[in-house]
C-alpha cells in the first residue's frame, strides 16, 4: 500500500466524519490508526518535515478554532462562514488526528532507533 493511498483513505475517512458524524462511532480511533500506520510504513526522515508534523499536530486544532472566545471549543471564526464553515472546521480538526498519529510514530521510531543503535554513544 503506497503512502498516497493511505493519505487518500485518511482524507475519505475525514470527509465521512465531517459529513456523517453519527454513522460510525470510532472515527478518531480510525484516523489516529491511519496516521500511526502511515508514520510506521513511511517514516519521516527529513528533520524539517518531522518538525512541521509536530507543529501541525499541536496547532492545527487551534487554527481551526481561531477567532473564537478563549477556552471555549468550537467557537472559531470558521464556524461563522455560512454553510462551509462547519465542514472546514471539522475537516481541519479531524485531519489533525492523522497528522498527530504520524508525529507520534516519528517520536516512537526516534526513541527505538536511539535504543537499538549500535555502539556505546
pLDDT tops 70 at residue 96: yes
Q: Tell me what pLDDT residue 73 has.
A: 65
Alpha carbons 66 and 51: distance in angstroms, whole number = 22
Domain boundaries defined on the chain: 3-115
Q: State the Cα–Cα distance between residues 81 and 89, nearest whole angstrom.
A: 10
Is the model's pLDDT at 69 over the cut of 70?
no
Task: Categorize the per-residue pLDDT at 74 as very low, low, confident or very high, splitting at 50, 70 and 90.
Answer: low
Confidence of residue 102 (pLDDT cuts 50, 70, 90): very high
Give the whole-number percent of the chain exceeding pLDDT 90.
Answer: 40
How many CB atoms lie under 10 A from the CB of residue 95? 23
What is the C-alpha separation between 94 and 57, in angstroms, rounded? 11
Query: How would you class 98 by CB atoms within 10 Å of its CB: exposed for 0-12, middle for 13-18, buried for 19 or more?
Result: buried
User: Worst-scoring range by mean pLDDT, 6-10, 54-58, 71-75?
Assistant: 71-75
Amino acid at each position: 500500500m503506497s503512502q498516497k493511498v493511505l493519505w487518500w483513505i485518511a482524507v475519505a475517512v475525514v470527509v465521512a466524519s465531517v459529513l456523517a458524524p453519527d454513522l460510525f462511532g470510532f472515527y478518531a480511533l480510525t484516523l489516529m490508526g491511519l496516521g500511526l500506520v502511515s508514520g510506521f510504513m513511511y517514516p519521516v526522515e527529513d528533520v524539517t518535515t518531522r518538525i512541521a508534523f509536530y507543529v501541525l499536530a499541536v496547532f492545527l486544532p487551534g487554527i481551526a478554532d481561531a477567532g473564537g472566545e478563549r477556552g471555549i471549543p468550537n467557537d472559531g471564526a470558521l464556524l461563522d462562514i455560512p454553510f462551509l464553515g462547519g465542514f472546514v472546521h471539522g475537516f481541519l480538526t479531524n485531519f489533525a488526528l492523522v497528522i498527530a498519529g504520524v508525529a507520534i510514530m516519528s517520536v516512537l521510531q526516534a526513541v527505538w532507533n536511539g535504543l537499538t543503535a549500535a555502539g556505546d554513544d
